[in-house]
Structure 1
Amino acid sequence: MTSTDSGFHRRTLLAGMAGLGAAAALPTATAQAAPTRAASGGRHPSNWPDPEPYGTADTRLDLWPRADNSFVLPLELRPRDEEFGRVWMRDTYVNCFRVGGCPVYVATGTTRVPGLDAAAPWNDGIFVWVAHSIKGPWRLVDTTGVRPGAERGKVWSPEFAGENRSGRTVVAPWQEYWHDDQFGKRGEVWAPEVHRFRDTWYIVACMGTHSRKVGSFLLVSDGGIEGPYRLIEGSLDKPFGDALPDAPYIDPGARFHIDGSMYTEGDDAWLVLHNNLYAKFRDDMEDIVLTTNLPAFQQQPYTPEPYLEGAYVCKHGGKYYLLQSAWDRTSTAADDSIRYAYDAAAPGRTQYHYDAIAAVADHFEGPYSRRWTLGVGAGHNNIFADAGGRLWATFFRNPNFGYWADPARIADAAVPGVVRLEWTGPQGNRLYVQRPSRGHAIGE
């Protein structure tokens, strides 16, 4: 989620990648009423009134990533990407760090192997791209010095289990590939994030649903951003936290907390988990301080509370922002109109958009305010500041369900996208996808 090296805490122009099709798929700016200016001399936009009742989704096109406020990063293609024409990516993560006085932009995410249409039941690891400008050129990180002859840009994979040595584990037994009669080859890594903390590179990621154990772990580099990476001590035997109730595809007791993220401030670092939990890392970063009964963020849940994921914390303007991902589901209201809300799954409710929702607090642990819609279809993202201090969020357009799963749009789903954000200032203390009335240009 964040890093003190980046200037902002935490997780392209549609002209970048084969971009004309993607540009056509995005909505244009709407003709809705512009948000009013803040009372402080027009320096900040104002908050929008919250839809009622609490839990109603804000679906205005002003909150979508659009052609005027977003773009898809033109990431260097791997041989596997040539036929498709771009990098297929979920859970897109981008950040900007200052290393040796120069900005270093980093991108990563969940990718798939050739021959599969999803990142499951297995994929082949974590790839990282770097650039000196958000607009690129974006190149695969040079891993040839770590693994000569191996696929460039791949910094970690279950296939690296052969590199384990006494006292140095790269891949734990619970992360290795395995096989069964139902799925064949199994084991995938999800939602990686790259962080720079105390001049050291870290990657927090998650083994996915078809793995021997499902949950989050932390890697630390013995060198640069290219690695080589190893597991920290606290990730050797199992994912972080306590085991959760059983889930499909895995053995009883093998499901833990997914979508792990990292928040850093000063010399301290915290693990953030999507099940509303957090834990401080030990000073040596080899484990979390509490390994069981982790504390929970103080939130204002919806009624009923839906399944949330992709949680992370960032800090801006002296406030802490807790971001999570929720499905906006449609249903029929009493007056026969369409109701949009962050509901739990139930008959008559249809997944529409995978949104980013946010809440704000004075303290890391909370209590957090009521949530609001930060971005439509921008769920499972991260926020970062570019080299000029401008705020961005990532998005990927969920290809599994809802709006972007439509056959007419699926070709433009699963992208490494970024969208400009706006802050409503110290009075409003909200972050939104940049709304049309602000009129900023994209890029640096």
Structure 2
Amino acid sequence: MTHSENSFPVGRRSLLAGVAGVGAAAVLPTAAAQAAPAAASVPASATAAATASVPAKSASSRRYPRNWPDPEPYGLADARTDLWPREDNSFVLPLELRPRDKERGTVWIRDTYVNCFVVDGRPLYVATGTTRVPGLEVAAPWNDGIFVWTARSLEGPWRLADTTRVRPDAEKGKVWSPEFVGENTAGRTVVAPWQEYWTDDKYGKRGHAWAPEVHYFRGKWYIVACTGDYAKKVGSFMLVSDGGVEGPYRLVEGNLEKPFGESFIGGPGFIEPGAYHHIDGGLYSEGDDAWLVLHNNLYAKFRDDMEDIVTPTDLPKFQQQPYSPEPYLEGAYVFKHKGKYFLVHAAWNRASVNADGTTRHAYDVAATGRVQYQYDAIVAVADTFEGPYSERYTAGVGAGHNNFFTDHRGDLWATYFLNPAAGYWSNASRVGDAAVPGVVRLEWTGPEGNRLYVQRRK
């Protein structure tokens, strides 16, 4: 993962400042699905089809906003609508539609990932995420791999990566899939045996790729992704391209037999013992070094040749301040800005009722009377990659399982997708506006506050 210190030099940034401002369809909250405190009242009218123009604004011209006081005790969630993706601070990327997307009019995607890299002196934006196949409502028990889109500016035009020269007969933009197993040759593995499609009597066809990230590091393209709950082995893996962002990609040596890290008992009950490894793998790079970031508190340095991690077992842990008790977290991601490290997680904000009848929003463990409300982005801050990290705070409501990135102007953004699996965005009246490739502006609270929030109302 790149960070804000890897942005354009001043001359290049000035040259590109004339690129068109952002404008596209914004995804916004509609009526509340369930009770919320008065401070968290939900905007009454909004629609995914609303057209918004999010003006470009130089990071250097902003006044530093203040940190908000954190709800007490530690572990309560901030549900105020200022932290939602809204019409004035966000929009949905106009990704090129595949035939499967045309009826919906928007790409159905979870775990949306977007980044901006400097390639040959020019900005190149990439987008990817978890997608589904025609005929399935979700990306399980199988999907058909990983798609990538590219653009020269955040507002587009966004085109599917041109994979036609790599695979003339495959769907455009598909850079990796279990169906590419036939491309394996001696000394070059595209799909390992544990990543292949398989079938059973209960679920039928099984196998998929979830939560991919695309990275450009030391002149090469990498994809870090994971196999999900219905795979032969569940866990994170990395691909490296022998060409450009379109591929062709192959599997790194460290994943020929299994995902990264050790197996443990986890996930749904139908996963066989020994098959579950840490999911949601990502990559953090700084200078000439790179680290694997694993769900939800592990990391490991990559070998210099990037074919495996240095210590395959006994992975070190980030020094965090967990909640008590610690709920299930997903999507660990590290972003560096102004010398600080921001560790991002996804957590379910669960609503329950206090003894006085008011609504309680908290990052609680699941229990009777606690209803999944929003899939939030929570963040902790540290002076070093390993930590110790600060207490976590709510950075974005409904923006969970995302990444932070810097555009070519130096402005800060986060992705979001609005989780349709449960909670607010699963409601029948708004599920059509969920699972989208959304981006929302971030604001930095300056060298004293040192927080990143979804851009709040002034």
Q: For 2:230, what is the secondary structure of its paired residue?
A: coil
Q: Distance in 2 between matches of 1:285 and 1:341?
A: 39
2:318 is equivalent to residue 297 of structure 1: yes
2:448 is equivalent to residue 388 of structure 1: no
| Alignment match, 1:254 | 275
Residues 64-213 of structure 1 correspond to what in structure 2 (within 5 A)?
A: 64-213=84-233
Q: Distance in 2 between matches of 1:50 and 1:42?
A: 23
CA drift at 1:252: 1.3
* Comparing 249-258 and 220-229, the one that deviates more: 249-258
The one-letter amino acid of 2:345's match is Q
| Alignment match, 2:288 | 267
Cα distance change on mapping 1:267 and 1:209 into 2, 3 Å: same
| Alignment match, 2:399 | 378
Please say if residues 311 and 322 of structure 1, whose CA atoms lie closer than 8 Å, have aligned partners that are also in contact.
yes
Q: Distance in 2 between matches of 1:243 and 1:55?
A: 29
Q: Distance in 2 between matches of 1:29 and 1:83?
A: 27
Cα distance change on mapping 1:89 and 1:5 into 2, 3 Å: farther
Q: Which residues of structure 1 form unaligned runs of 5+? A: 31-40, 438-444
| Alignment match, 1:240 | 260
2:406 is equivalent to residue 406 of structure 1: no
Q: TM-score, normalised by structure 2?
A: 0.89
Per-residue displacement from partner, 1:31-66 (whole Å, max 9, x unpaired)?
Answer: xxxxxxxxxx98311111111000000011001100
The one-letter amino acid of 1:274's match is H
Please say if residues 4 and 266 of structure 1, whose CA atoms lie closer than 8 Å, have aligned partners that are also in contact.
no
Please say if residues 4 and 337 of structure 2, whose CA atoms lie closer than 8 Å, have aligned partners that are also in contact.
no
Q: For 2:369, what is the secondary structure of its paired residue?
A: coil
Please say if residues 127 and 149 of structure 2, whose CA atoms lie closer than 8 Å, have aligned partners that are also in contact.
yes
| Alignment match, 1:47 | 67
Please say if residues 5 and 98 of structure 1, whose CA atoms lie closer than 8 Å, have aligned partners that are also in contact.
no
CA drift at 1:227: 0.4
Q: Distance in 2 between matches of 1:295 and 1:51?
A: 30
The one-letter amino acid of 1:382's match is N
Q: Distance in 2 between matches of 1:130 and 1:293?
A: 37
Q: Distance in 2 between matches of 1:200 and 1:369?
A: 33
Per-residue displacement from partner, 1:357-398 (whole Å, max 9, x unpaired)?
Answer: 000001100000000000000000001101100000000000
Q: Distance in 2 between matches of 1:189 and 1:139?
A: 21
| Alignment match, 2:305 | 284
Please say if residues 29 and 62 of structure 1, whose CA atoms lie closer than 8 Å, have aligned partners that are also in contact.
no
CA drift at 1:24: 7.2
| Alignment match, 1:7 | 7
Please say if residues 192 and 205 of structure 1, whose CA atoms lie closer than 8 Å, have aligned partners that are also in contact.
yes
Please say if residues 3 and 406 of structure 2, whose CA atoms lie closer than 8 Å, have aligned partners that are also in contact.
no
CA drift at 1:15: 6.1
Q: Distance in 2 between matches of 1:207 and 1:193?
A: 13
Please say if residues 4 and 406 of structure 2, whose CA atoms lie closer than 8 Å, have aligned partners that are also in contact.
no
Q: Distance in 1 between matches of 2:298 and 2:329?
A: 12
Please say if residues 5 and 337 of structure 2, whose CA atoms lie closer than 8 Å, have aligned partners that are also in contact.
no
Cα distance change on mapping 1:251 and 1:258 into 2, 3 Å: same
Q: For 1:436, what is the secondary structure of its paired residue?
A: coil
Please say if residues 47 and 430 of structure 1, whose CA atoms lie closer than 8 Å, have aligned partners that are also in contact.
yes
Q: Distance in 1 between matches of 2:44 and 2:116?
A: 28
Q: Distance in 2 between matches of 1:380 and 1:225?
A: 23
Residues 209-228 of structure 1 correspond to what in structure 2 (within 5 A)?
A: 209-228=229-248
Q: Distance in 2 between matches of 1:236 and 1:206?
A: 14
Q: Distance in 2 between matches of 1:337 and 1:3?
A: 40
Matched residue count: 420
Q: Distance in 2 between matches of 1:429 and 1:5?
A: 15
| Alignment match, 2:15 | none
Q: Distance in 2 between matches of 1:306 and 1:375?
A: 18
CA drift at 1:273: 0.6
> RMSD between aligned alpha carbons?
1.9
The one-letter amino acid of 1:205's match is A
**Where do 4+ consecutive residues of structure 1 move more than 6 Å?**
none
Q: For 1:218, what is the secondary structure of its paired residue?
A: strand
CA drift at 1:275: 2.8
Q: For 1:240, what is the secondary structure of its paired residue?
A: coil
CA drift at 1:186: 0.2
CA drift at 1:150: 1.3
Q: For 2:254, what is the secondary structure of its paired residue?
A: helix
* Comparing 330-339 and 135-144, the one that deviates more: 330-339
Please say if residues 3 and 196 of structure 1, whose CA atoms lie closer than 8 Å, have aligned partners that are also in contact.
no
CA drift at 1:14: 10
Q: Distance in 1 between matches of 2:70 and 2:148?
A: 38
Q: TM-score, normalised by structure 1?
A: 0.92
Cα distance change on mapping 1:314 and 1:342 into 2, 3 Å: same
Q: Distance in 2 between matches of 1:44 and 1:68?
A: 19
Please say if residues 14 and 72 of structure 1, whose CA atoms lie closer than 8 Å, have aligned partners that are also in contact.
no
Q: For 2:422, what is the secondary structure of its paired residue?
A: coil
Q: Distance in 1 between matches of 2:164 and 2:43?
A: 42
CA drift at 1:5: 9.1
